[in-house]
Amino acid sequence: MEFINLAQKRYSVRSYSDQPVDDAKLMEVLNAARFAPTACNYQPFFLIVIRDLAIRRQCATVYNRPWFLNAPVMIVACCDHSQSWHRSDGKDYGEIDVAIVMDHITLAAADVGLGTCWIGNFDVFEARKVLKIPAEISVVALTPLGYPSGQPLVTSKSRKPLEQLVFWDHYGNINK
């Protein structure tokens, strides 16, 4: 699929069927995550893939929306800051790396007909407790992974026009 079509096809899926995700598709999505670029190629991330129904149900306290639990797979993206690149001014690039990984996951999933929804508004304390994540590891984002049921909201693809997003040659110049 052409990249621009894939980018437009992906949307935040908030309604999933309980159809199982074939292992080959899951592995394709995870492999796409592996190829994400990371600062200095340090790859300071790891993914927790949850398929176990009992653990997914426990995740209701992590993000309490009914659709969140319907998907047969959940992916939790974490950062190990002891492995991430720190710029000379101290800025830690770890969570930026994980964001790129998440983007690969969401796009790769859309490419194989699967839905995702990036979840940032989760309860981090519950996530640590349920998934046994130690304090030194940050939990950056979660997503369900499964087949969409229903259609996206029309409004979900509204985007600012390029004119509001791009300056030319220097900050503030909108004249191409």
Ligand X SMILES: Cc1cc2nc3c(=O)[nH]c(=O)nc-3n(C[C@H](O)[C@H](O)[C@H](O)COP(=O)(O)O)c2cc1C
For binding to ligand X (CB under 6 A), which residues are involved? Answer: 11-12, 117-121, 156-157
Pinpoint the alpha helices (H) of 16-160.
Answer: 23-34, 53-58, 94-111, 124-131
CA 107 to CA 116: how far, in whole Å?
A: 9
Nearest to ligand X of 64, 156 (CB atom) = 156
d(CA 133, CA 55): 14
**Nearest distance, CB of residue 30 and ligand X, angstroms:** 20
The residue (of 6 and 40) whose beta carbon lies closer to ligand X is 6
Smallest separation (angstroms) from ligand X to the CB of 156? 4
Measured from the CB atom, the residue of 57 and 157 that comes closer to ligand X is 157
- How far is 171 from 140, CA to CA, in rounded Å? 30
**Distance (Å, rounded) from C-alpha 121 to C-alpha 1?**
31
Q: Taking the complex as a whole, how short is the minimal distance between the CB of residue 151 and ligand X, in angstroms?
A: 12
For ligand X, the closer CB: 118 or 147: 118
